[in-house]
Structure 1
Amino acid sequence: METDCTNNEARVNDPRATAGHPAARSLTTAGSRPLTPPTPLPAGTRLLHIGPHKTGTTAIQGALFAAKERMPAYGVEFPATSRHPMQAVLAACARPGMIGDTRPTEGHWNRLVEQVNATGRSTSVISSEFFADAPDDATIARIVEQLGGDRVHVLVTLRPLVRIMPSQWQQYVQNGLRMGYEEWLEHMLRKAPYEKPNPSFWRRHRHDRLVERWVRVVGAERVTVVVVDDRDREGLMRTFEGLLGLPAQLLRPVPDTANRSLTLAETEMLRNLNKEFRDNALPDELYSKLVRNGAVMHMKNTCSPTSRDVKISTPAWAVEAAVAIGAEMTGRIEAMGVRVLGDPGLLSALPKPAGQAGAQPVEEARIAPEVAAQALYGALAAVAGGAGRQPARPVHQTSSKELVKVLGRRCLKRLRRH
């Protein structure tokens, strides 16, 4: 079972760079700098949003897709036929999909390119965090050329590394990772070459090098970096509206419970289940169907975290290392000459100390019985959904009554065979 959805391991020389070095900026909390509306990009621009992961990508993709039918009135097109053209971008970057999923093909990418070309001289926007995983300059150049060449303007959204780390770890767990959070941090921050078990982490989140790779291909004048302020939940929507020349409030948040992060208890439950899967050599396809798209998806759709749930807490040593890396990355990005929207100081701000609720020991992280029940039901519903001749429906659309019927029929068939 793969724990990272990439085959192109990023070979980096100490991605931490000068973490902890005296030259790093002082660890202070950044103040709030209001985000002024950006100057709209020229008409006909193809805005390429490359993420990276965990920087508000799902939220903006949902908002853009929801406004797909209204944007053409303002000369803007969203050419993808789904919220996130993930398969197409994975194919363009020569990457496999999530473990157990169907492998992306060049056909997926060619269809997206055709859809983009069909927008003609209109402004268009393409968004996928997987563009950040492009393995080399040649791949980036091919992507840019096929999507419009000189018409392409690259948009990078950034959040503080210290906020990304716990979110990215639990996402890796959802794709089969079995390593605990603190051990994972040790590997990412203290154990050279800092690329195991997830080589994609620093490929995505050494943000200065990410920006630099795309600048080498398109030039600094065609790259915009947006610093996401978590205190302004709709700030990213307003930024996209400004860049695309859309009226204010056209882009609105779309509820997406399936994209929420897991709590510590949920992540630990899944991590231990991952160990059982690997120890018993079960097939990746089974993991994809029953666990990620069954148990986990249903659990996220039906259970919302409460104030009693323990969040994933980053130890102080890792926080300090992440803040120092953020300071260095910020300095390098600002020196590249790209347009930076938002407050760069946020990327190296020391977060406020967690309250008592956030300092609970791991022993108190207990999965609620109803959450465990929903996860189990999600796995059973995934089995039932694939038992008949009809294509499997999403888990939340499978009724308990239908599930019992399908499982009952399967049991009868097995009894008859014996």
Structure 2
Amino acid sequence: MSSERIPLAPGTRLLHVGPYKTGTTALQGAFHRARTELAAHGVLYAWKGRQAKEPAVAVTGADPPAAPWQELCEEVAGAGDGRVMISSEFFSNADARAARTVVEGLTGGDVHVVVTLRPLLKILPSHWQQDVKHGRCDSYEDWLAGLLRLSPDQECPTPEFWHRHRHDVLLERWADAVGRDNLTVVVVDDAEPDRLFRTFEGLLDLPEGLLVPEDDGVNRSLTLSQAELLLQLNRRLAESPWKSYPRRTMVREEVVPHMQAYRPRPGEPRITTPAWAEEAAAAVAEEMVARMAKLGVRIIGDLAALTPPPAGTAETAAPEFIPTAAAVEAVLGGIAAGSAATRARQARLASAIEDASIHKVATKDLLRVVGRRGFRRLRRTFDS
């Protein structure tokens, strides 16, 4: 276990691969908002968005990798002997081949991989609710049963889960690609969330306090009642006639963000893991930690924190009501989704009318279409 501040060498390409639900969103937000300050200290936060999602998807999903990966490699190479930070949990989807491709592509300095870890018991409810945000219709208990009680003839409900969250295997995969001396594990402490920022400041030789978390509700967890509301909505949208609606536009891009704007009251019920699943997950976690301790990689934090004892949580029934304020936010999201769908439909209709032959345009639209086409021609004449 190591907690001292030992910066990585200048020119290091620091690659944070997640995995999901280990403080990635908070960390990426802090780096994204501090780009100018980072540059002043010789650190490049690579890629143009909050995280390097597009390059990570490009390199883990195709062989050879798609264009965004090459763009990222060129940006990193252009940093010269400055330190570079690259972060995306989508890198945790890499298989052994893709991991080697990633390490080989980040030229200009030594590559050092960082893996952030939280207890499996805390990742499970976070992962399920994220799946619900994307349309999952399985209850939490059914989803857990598919992950933790699999028989040989059962199909895992989320096949990628164990690829990302069998953490001992994840570490082995990246250690084989980058070398054990170039891999650091950071154990995330939910009781001291700022420690994650201080750790990365130390790795990159940044002043303490430079990284500041955002407070805008990005990726905020759902309460138990919100998750149940969204689950029931998913199930209805999977039925006729609703399944023909653009669910991503209606729910993921409008309803969910509005729901996350709601700030729960103290003591409002959260998603809880049933006792049988806690025990099963704890057994897996103990096995993973035992293997990770023998890998010989640098560990910042206490691996024992990854194996908290099961709390023996009582079974939680689905809530029968949702707070009014939370319901209002969900309804507002639905209204926004309906407005967005209407605008998109009107735009498609207008485009079809504008492109149609004059003799096919309805009389009521004829004057408007002729006027717009005449205006476009006149503007082109002046522009030329």
5+ residue gaps, structure 1, are 1-32, 96-104, 393-415
Deviations 1:139-193 (A, max 9, x none): 1111111122862110000011011101111011111111111111111111135
Q: What amino acid is aligned across from residue 50 of structure 1 in structure 2?
A: V
CA contact (8 A) 1:154 1:222 kept: yes
2:76 match: 116
1:274 match: 234
Q: What amino acid is aligned across from residue 290 of structure 1 in structure 2?
A: M
**Structure 1 pair 329/176, CA: closer, same or farther in 2 (3 Å)?**
same
Q: State how far apart, in whole Å, the 2-side matches of 1:148 and 1:263 are.
A: 44
Deviation at 1:326, TM superposition (A): 1.2
**Structure 1 pair 231/367, CA: closer, same or farther in 2 (3 Å)?**
same
Is 1:128 equivalent to 2:88 in the alignment?
Answer: yes
Is 1:40 equivalent to 2:7 in the alignment?
Answer: yes
1:177 match: 136
Which of 117, 140, 148 pairs up with 2:107?
A: 148
Normalized per residue, the structure richer in helix is: 2
2:193 match: 233
**Structure 1 pair 160/253, CA: closer, same or farther in 2 (3 Å)?**
same
Is 1:306 equivalent to 2:252 in the alignment?
Answer: no
CA contact (8 A) 2:259 2:330 kept: yes
CA contact (8 A) 2:274 2:312 kept: no
1:3 match: none
**Structure 1 pair 81/285, CA: closer, same or farther in 2 (3 Å)?**
farther
Q: Secondary structure, in 3 states, of the residue corresponding to 1:47?
A: strand
TM-score w.r.t. length of structure 1: 0.77
Is 1:61 equivalent to 2:21 in the alignment?
Answer: no
Larger deviation, residues 205-214 vs 67-76: 67-76
2:158 match: 198
1:9 match: none
1:371 match: 326
Q: Secondary structure, in 3 states, of the residue corresponding to 2:289?
A: helix
Is 1:83 equivalent to 2:42 in the alignment?
Answer: no
Q: Secondary structure, in 3 states, of the residue corresponding to 2:35?
A: coil
Name segments (4+ residues, structure 1) moved above 6 Å.
none
Deviations 1:70-121 (A, max 9, x none): 11222211122111222221222118xxxxxxxxx92333332232222222
Deviation at 1:280, TM superposition (A): 2.7
5+ residue gaps, structure 2, are 348-363, 366-384
Which of 166, 188, 198 pairs up with 2:147?
A: 188
Q: What amino acid is aligned across from residue 200 of structure 2 in structure 1?
A: F
Q: How many residues align?
A: 346
Q: What amino acid is aligned across from residue 17 of structure 2 in structure 1?
A: I
Deviation at 1:45, TM superposition (A): 0.3
Two-structure CA RMSD over aligned residues (Å): 2.6
Deviations 1:219-238 (A, max 9, x none): 11110001111111101000
**Structure 1 pair 195/148, CA: closer, same or farther in 2 (3 Å)?**
farther
TM-score w.r.t. length of structure 2: 0.83
Alignment of 1:209-358 (within 5 A): 209-280=169-240, 286-301=246-261, 303-350=262-309
1:70 match: 37
Deviation at 1:269, TM superposition (A): 1.2
Which of 135, 151, 158 pairs up with 2:117?
A: 158
CA contact (8 A) 1:195 1:201 kept: no
Deviation at 1:365, TM superposition (A): 5.1
